[in-house]
Amino acid sequence: MNTTEKSPATEEPKAAPTQARRTPPEVVTSIVLGILGITLALGFTSPFAIIKGRQAVAKIDEDPARYDGRPLAMVGQVLGIVGTVWLVAWLVLSFTVGFAGIDMFDVLRTALNQALGPNAIVYALAAIGLNVHFGYTGLLNFGQAGFMAVGAYGLAVTVVTWDQPFVLGILVALLAPVLLALVLGVPTLRLRADYLAIATIATAEILRLVFGAVETKSVFGGSNGLNNYAGTYQDANIFRTWDVFNPGGALGFDRLDLWIMSFSKRDLWSMVIGWLLVALCCLVVWALMRSPWGRLLRAIREDEDAVRSLGKNVFAYKMQALVLGGLFGGLAGLYLALKQASVVPSDYSTNMTFLAFVALLIGGAARVAGPVIGAMILWFLISGMREFFEQATAGADPVMPTWLMDNTQASLIRFVAVGLGLMLLMIFRPQGIFGDRREIAIDGR
Amino acid sequence: MRQRVFTLVSVVFFLLLLQPANAFAETTSPSASPTAPSGTPSDEGAEEPLPDGDYIRVTLTDRDKGGAPVPDVRLTVAAVEEGSEPEDVGEDVTDDQGIAIIETPGPGTYVVTLDEDTLPDGVELNDATSTELEITARLGGATNAAFPIGTQAVNEVPFSEKFSVAMMSGIKFGLLVALAALGLSLIFGTTGLTNFAHGELITLGALLAYVFNRGIGLPVIVAGIAAVVASAFFGWAQDKALWAPLRRRGTGLIAMMIVSIGFGLFLRNVFQYTIGSSRKSLSEYVNQGRRDYGPISLADKELAIIVISLVTITITCIVLMRTRLGKAMRAVSDNPALSASSGMKVDRVISNVWILGTALTGLSGVLLAINSQINFLMGFKLLLLVFAGVTLGGLGTIWGALFGSMVIGIMVEVGPLFGVPSSIKEVGALVVLILVLLVRPQGILGRRERIG
């Protein structure tokens, strides 16, 4: 890796600003239009969000000393693009396929529900962990599903198999990924990137196979997994007993309707806990990565040997990064186990790691918000696509000709698209939406 | 300023929150429950302990032992529809009461198949028993079914015989892995790409054989040859359309590796899209009796598989050792820049490597299809074993790939004799993979160089 001309790991020396840099007003306009576009305005304001975003970027690039807020301008543009794509798809389909065929409202509702719902949170947490590994330290960990599995099983086994209190289960769930990181890291962190990838993916598969084996059924519950451990978590659901949104009114509501979205009380509780966790993790990552410790991690990513020659113990820092990212992964597993109220070994397959990587790469590695935005966009797209094609193939006389696609095939299209998307993303925009191309450790050694 | 943006954003969200709970209620149809897609988007359906929807509860009993339950036997349920092939819907392992619960999509006719390999040791089905049971689920919810089987005790086979049987299937499996590993090793050696889509190239071979055989109606042998040729073409096309442009752009190796993950995901789902998730078999050589050859007994097809792989591997090795092409491949793998500057067409050599590598891998898939069945995940499940074989022998060395794969194949098949639980017999190979990476990352036959 070359480090001569650029050193993104160290903070840019600020050229003694004579006046505070300000955000051009176009940025705000673009973001507001973008948000309106994907929510209330049904996409109609989105093209304008792109235009305003472009103007803002041009203005900032022209005079970077006076203006900042480029990432926000990019957010506006991206929101605009998402909304415009949706608008075009919606209009084209409504008029060509006919209104009877596909209810685009339904598609949007499902997509938004999933983008804000618990599933996106699971992937956001997992991707935050991968961000620490891959984005900041350059460790290619393909075994994130393994960290998630030990987190989830840590809780379930403690509560169900060993019959211990819930709180102890949470502690075990947080301790298990740390232990896994230590055991995995001591030998493998010395390996080259591709070897590390193979070693971690193999570890995750070993864990999944052992958890699902018939022989260990008495401990891990075999292929059916474990359940009946999340009672404490569900009982703590504030929405069950107390109507936060309607104090004094009739107690209890079945579902919360937010514009076209709708969440059950159970999901709502999971979302509150989940987004708090995500915020907390982001805060930790943000704080750590601007510290000297974080700068050192990025330096390791850029040139390990250079850091070593400065007398730093690279191995120890890599290990700390592996533990921290693994802990976030374990948290993702723990959260998945809580919100789903059952742990099933087949959930923790390699696909899960790959999808978490996709989420990270969409948002942009080595950015605090990258994995979170990425997970939301990923879930928006894949659940929207699923709903769309399910509707297109449903019924006796489906919109889509059956020789082309039937109902069982409809749910596969999104993964075909995810695969293609990952390839295209890696080829054309490896830095994702927010990232910096020079900061992605993809050049190999 | 930044602050103002966030205030605005939060105001918008707050407005959304303030929407009266029922303002848009008419747009939310209650039938579509948006929270339904729970869990992960993984393709494997999660089995719930007691599913909410429709399921079949099968009780497996041994009628020769007065209806005693038979635990730990894998049952697979496939939906049967007139005019189409059975489609797998799920599988489960029977518990202590002999009960297995399998979720089904709804009412219909299903066939429950028993996996004979999972029967307890020393027990075999007797002649009066079929391994299949047809069930008609008329109503939603639970459908209960009893599955009585008859078993007979078989004479405990002496260890030496068990060992030779396991050894033989280990050698066969090892050779199949070796073919794929050779392909992976060739491609890795010349391009440095750790190809995570390699498992899909195995599946592709098997799938093409299936298409040529069942779809076009060619005999299995012709279909197999055609599948290998088509695989070779796919290798060429893949290099031309994807990898060569990436090399020209100077894309890093890790980026290419991630691209190969995407490509693998793409291919895997395209395969599932085209052939569905059930297991398929070819039209010929499905069930063959075994013949005795001295201490071992082999079916004809198994013998053919062993011979074909041995011959192919030998020819490949001779080609790589003796011919100009082989020399060129080794030169490029050693030092691409030097080869290019001494007048070799590096891109042509790499293209040839892709053709050869994918053809070998495709052949491995074809032979696997003849050996057992075809499934869209078959290659992906083998991928880590192939990696294990290649790494054990030493990445990028031909003999290493061969040697490592044989060790892995034999270990996987012989392991259960020495107490490795048979349902996770692959774990041993993966543990070896990790241990080798730790102790001797260059592999047993690899050259010593700093790679860690």
pLDDT in tens, B134-157: 777 766 667 777 777 776 666 666
Distance CA B191, CA B332 (A): 9
Shortest distance between the Cα of A444 and any Cα of chain B, in A, equals 5
Select the highest-mean-pLDDT range: A299-303, A328-332, B82-86, B438-442: A328-332
Beta-carbon contacts of A13 under 8 Å, excluding residues fewer than 6 positions away, are none
CATH-assigned architecture of domain B61-153? Sandwich (2.60)
- Tell me the chain B residues in contact with residue A109 when contact means C-beta distances shorter than 8 Å: 27-28, 32, 34
> Residue B227: enclosing H or E segment and its boundaries?
helix B220-238
Angle among Cα B364, B366, B368 to the nearest 5 degrees reads 70
Closest residue to A190, CB basis, from B49, B430, B452: B452
Shortest distance between the Cα of A206 and any Cα of chain B, in A, equals 6
DSSP A56-74: HHHHHHH-TTTB--HHHHH
Q: Looking at the complex, does the CB of residue A198 fall below 8 Å from at least one CB of chain B? A: yes
In a domain, A7, yes or no: no
The pLDDT of residue B156? 64
- The better pLDDT of the pair A103, A135 is held by A135
Judged by DSSP in three states, B370 sits in helix
User: Lowest mean pLDDT: which of A101-110, A217-226, B47-56, B292-301?
Assistant: B47-56
Nearest to B42 by CA among A119, A126, A227, A381: A119
The pLDDT of residue A235? 81
Strand partners, B290: B299
The pLDDT of residue A3? 41
Shortest distance between the Cα of A294 and any Cα of chain B, in A, equals 23
In a domain, A39, yes or no: no
Locate the DSSP E strands across B250-340. 290-293, 296-299
Q: What is the mean pLDDT of chain B?
A: 79
Distance CA B114, CA B275 (A): 23
Residue pLDDT, tens place only, B75-122: 888 777 655 556 677 778 787 777 888 877 777 778 887 777 777 766
Residue pLDDT, tens place only, A232-243: 888 887 776 655
The pLDDT of residue A239? 75
When divided into structural domains, chain A yields a total of: 1
The pLDDT of residue A4? 43
Residue pLDDT, tens place only, A36-74: 777 666 677 788 888 888 888 888 888 777 787 788 888
Whether pLDDT at B20 is above 60: no
Distance CA B148, CA A88 (A): 59
- The better pLDDT of the pair B352, B110 is held by B352
Q: Are residues B41 and A382, on separate chains, in Cβ contact within 8 Å?
A: yes
Q: Looking at the complex, does the CB of residue A391 fall below 8 Å from at least one CB of chain B? A: no
Whether pLDDT at A88 is above 50: yes
Q: Are residues A195 and B438, on separate chains, in Cβ contact within 8 Å?
A: no
Q: Between the CA of residue A404 and those of A238, A408, A420, B451, what are the distances in Å?
A: 47, 12, 19, 48
CB contacts < 8 A, A to B, total 260
Q: Looking at the complex, does the CB of residue A240 fall below 8 Å from at least one CB of chain B? A: no
Work out the pLDDT band at B396, boundaries 50, 70, 90.
Answer: low
Q: Are residues B253 and A443, on separate chains, in Cβ contact within 8 Å?
A: yes
How big, in percent rounded to 5, are the helix, strand and coil portions of chain A? Answer: 70, 5, 30
Q: Are residues B39 and A35, on separate chains, in Cβ contact within 8 Å?
A: no
Residue pLDDT, tens place only, B368-389: 999 988 999 999 989 999 998 8
Strands B55-62 and B142-149, sheet pairing = parallel
Closest residue to B27, CB basis, from A105, A117, A344: A105
Q: Which residue of chain A has the CA closest to B31?
A: A106
User: Lowest mean pLDDT: which of A112-116, A281-285, B110-114, B345-349?
Assistant: B110-114
In a domain, A363, yes or no: yes
In a domain, A127, yes or no: yes
- DSSP label at B116? G
Q: Between the CA of residue B414 and those of B119, B159, B385, B419, what are the distances in Å?
A: 18, 12, 15, 10
Q: Are residues B452 and A192, on separate chains, in Cβ contact within 8 Å?
A: yes
Nearest to A324 by CA among A361, A291, A351, A275: A291
Q: Are residues B259 and A420, on separate chains, in Cβ contact within 8 Å?
A: no
In a domain, A263, yes or no: yes
Distance CA A68, CA A82 (A): 24
Residue A76, number of CB atoms within 10 A of its CB: 31
- Per-domain residue ranges for chain B? 61-153, 159-439
Provide mean pLDDT across the span B178-201: 91
Provide mean pLDDT across the span A9-31: 63
The pLDDT of residue B402? 87
CB A76 within 8 A of CB A31: yes
Q: Which of B2, B6, B42 to mutate to test the interface with A (most CBs of A within 10 A)?
A: B42
The pLDDT of residue A343? 92
Residue pLDDT, tens place only, B30-63: 333 333 344 444 444 334 456 666 777 888 877 7
Select the highest-mean-pLDDT range: A68-77, B56-65, B236-245: B236-245
Q: Looking at the complex, does the CB of residue B426 fall below 8 Å from at least one CB of chain A? A: yes
- Tell me the chain A residues in contact with residue B257 when contact means C-beta distances shorter than 8 Å: 140, 194, 197
Judged by DSSP in three states, B100 sits in strand
> Residue A392: enclosing H or E segment and its boundaries?
helix A370-393
Whether pLDDT at B25 is above 60: no
- Tell me the chain B residues in contact with residue A329 when contact means C-beta distances shorter than 8 Å: none
Q: Helix crossing, A350-363 with A118-130: angle to 10°?
A: 80
Q: Is the dihedral of CA A303, A304, A310, A316 positive or negative?
A: positive
The pLDDT of residue B7? 45
Question: Hey, what CATH topology would domain B159-439 get?
Answer: ABC transporter involved in vitamin B12 uptake, BtuC (1.10.3470)
Domain that holds residue A141: 97-439
Q: What is the mean pLDDT of chain A?
A: 83
CB A432 within 8 A of CB A361: yes
Locate the DSSP E strands across B274-332. 290-293, 296-299
Percent of chain B with pLDDT strictly greater than 70: 78
Q: How far apart are the first and last CA of chain B?
A: 48
Locate the DSSP E strands across B64-198. 68-69, 74-80, 87-93, 99-103, 108-114, 123-125, 132-137, 142-149, 151-153
In a domain, A332, yes or no: yes
Q: Which residue of chain A has the CA closest to B262?
A: A419
Q: Looking at the complex, does the CB of residue A214 fall below 8 Å from at least one CB of chain B? A: yes
Residue with tokens 């990587």: A357
Q: Are residues A351 and B43, on separate chains, in Cβ contact within 8 Å?
A: yes
CB B124 within 8 A of CB B154: yes
Q: Is the dihedral of CA A98, A102, A103, A108 positive or negative?
A: negative
Distance CA B444, CA B428 (A): 18
Q: Are residues B41 and A261, on separate chains, in Cβ contact within 8 Å?
A: no
Whether pLDDT at B27 is above 70: no
Q: Are residues B47 and A419, on separate chains, in Cβ contact within 8 Å?
A: no
* B:254-273 residues touching chain A, CB 8 A cutoff: 254-255, 257-259, 261-270, 272-273
Select the highest-mean-pLDDT range: A90-94, A167-171, A408-412, B397-401: A167-171
* A:416-445 residues touching chain B, CB 8 A cutoff: 416, 418-427, 430, 441-444
Distance CA A45, CA A84 (A): 8
Q: Are residues B42 and A223, on separate chains, in Cβ contact within 8 Å?
A: no
Beta-carbon contacts of B439 under 8 Å, excluding residues fewer than 6 positions away, are none
Distance CA A181, CA A395 (A): 49
Whether pLDDT at A167 is above 60: yes
Residue pLDDT, tens place only, A182-210: 988 887 887 777 788 888 999 999 999 99
Nearest to B45 by CA among B57, B54, B34: B54
Q: Looking at the complex, does the CB of residue B159 fall below 8 Å from at least one CB of chain A? A: no
Q: Are residues A253 and B431, on separate chains, in Cβ contact within 8 Å?
A: no
CATH number, domain containing residue A411: 1.10.3470
- The better pLDDT of the pair A157, B439 is held by A157
- Tell me the chain A residues in contact with residue B38 when contact means C-beta distances shorter than 8 Å: 119, 340
Distance CA B98, CA B68 (A): 8
Distance CA A376, CA A372 (A): 6
How big, in percent rounded to 5, are the helix, strand and coil portions of chain B? Answer: 55, 15, 30
